[in-house]
Amino acid sequence: MFEDRPDRQEVVLVGRSNVGKSTLMRELTGHSKFTTGKKPGVTRQPNHFDWAGDDFMFTDLPGFGFMSGVEEDRREEIKTAIVRYIESNADDILAGVLVVDGKSVVDIIDRHSGPDEIPHDVEMFHFLRELGIPVVVAVNKMDKVDDRDERLDDLCDRLGLMPPWKQWSDIVAPISAKRGNLDALEEALRTHFHEQKRDDLLKFVS
């Protein structure tokens, strides 16, 4: 379903529709071509943003999960295509950034947790880790969250990480993309680039 991928190493952004992935991508890259909007599901194909000569790109993958006005079969197709893309390119993915809405993610996870159901966010987190891809959970819209530490501790708990959240600074990154506050995410990506001997990419997250 997703074709014409440039042959480069990459950081992929994944997450539910409307959590602010495209806004985050715009802030990370300083590039304004990414379509953002109130309507979920605006991004239907991977958006690659690459730099000539650096063998590297950021990729914004389509949103998964519920999308208003999109039939369930189509939603499943999109999710399957995302999974296949990540599996096929795992060796070239330096990090997976799972973008979640800080205000609602814990409630959404709890609503979809049951005997026969794993919430998409939790499933994607463990899927990336099982493939050996370093994961950073970019907890977006934190400017709208009052009980910050409690909310982040609860999220860690749902992801199977022992709270407090502050011990997971290379995994949990509270941000506010709309306000340009990406410090925690950039710090986490710097750690993962360094560990993979790609210090030449640090300029993209400084």
Ordered structural domains, the chain, with CATH: 9-200 (3.40.50.300)
Place of tokens 């993915």: 93
Angle ∠(201,202,206) on CA atoms, nearest 5: 135
DSSP lists the bridge partners of residue 56 as 9, 51
Q: Averaged over 9-25, what is the pLDDT?
A: 93
Question: Residue 120 and residue 161: Cα distance in Å, rounded?
Answer: 17
pLDDT, averaged across the chain:
89
Whether residue 70 has pLDDT greater than 50: yes
Question: Residue 193 and residue 206: Cα distance in Å, rounded?
Answer: 12
Q: Averaged over 63-90, what is the pLDDT?
A: 86
Confidence of residue 126 (pLDDT cuts 50, 70, 90): very high
> Are β-strands 56-60 and 47-51 bridged in parallel, bridged antiparallel, or unpaired?
antiparallel
Quickly count: other Cβ atoms within 10 Å of residue 157's Cβ.
Answer: 14
Encoded amino acid at 70, one letter: V
Q: Measure Cα distances from 201 to 19, 58, 79, 172 in Å.
A: 26, 11, 29, 21
19-28, 96-105, 171-180, 189-198: the lowest-pLDDT one: 19-28
DSSP lists the bridge partners of residue 136 as 97
Question: Residue 61 and residue 11: Cα distance in Å, rounded?
Answer: 10
Question: Residue 87 and residue 132: Cα distance in Å, rounded?
Answer: 10
Q: Residue 200: what pLDDT?
A: 93
Q: Measure Cα distances from 81 to 30, 87, 141, 190 in Å.
A: 27, 10, 27, 28
Place of tokens 């493939």: 131
Q: Residue 157: what pLDDT?
A: 97
Whether residue 1 has pLDDT greater than 90: no
DSSP lists the bridge partners of residue 191 as none
Q: Residue 33: what pLDDT?
A: 56
User: Which is more confident, 115 or 91?
Assistant: 91
Q: Residue 37: what pLDDT?
A: 43
Q: Residue 50: what pLDDT?
A: 82
User: Which is more confident, 118 or 105?
Assistant: 105
Whether residue 39 has pLDDT greater than 60: no
Whether residue 132 has pLDDT greater than 60: yes
- The structure's pTM equals 0.92
Question: Residue 135 and residue 126: Cα distance in Å, rounded?
Answer: 9
Q: Averaged over 147-175, what is the pLDDT?
A: 97
Whether residue 56 has pLDDT greater than 70: yes
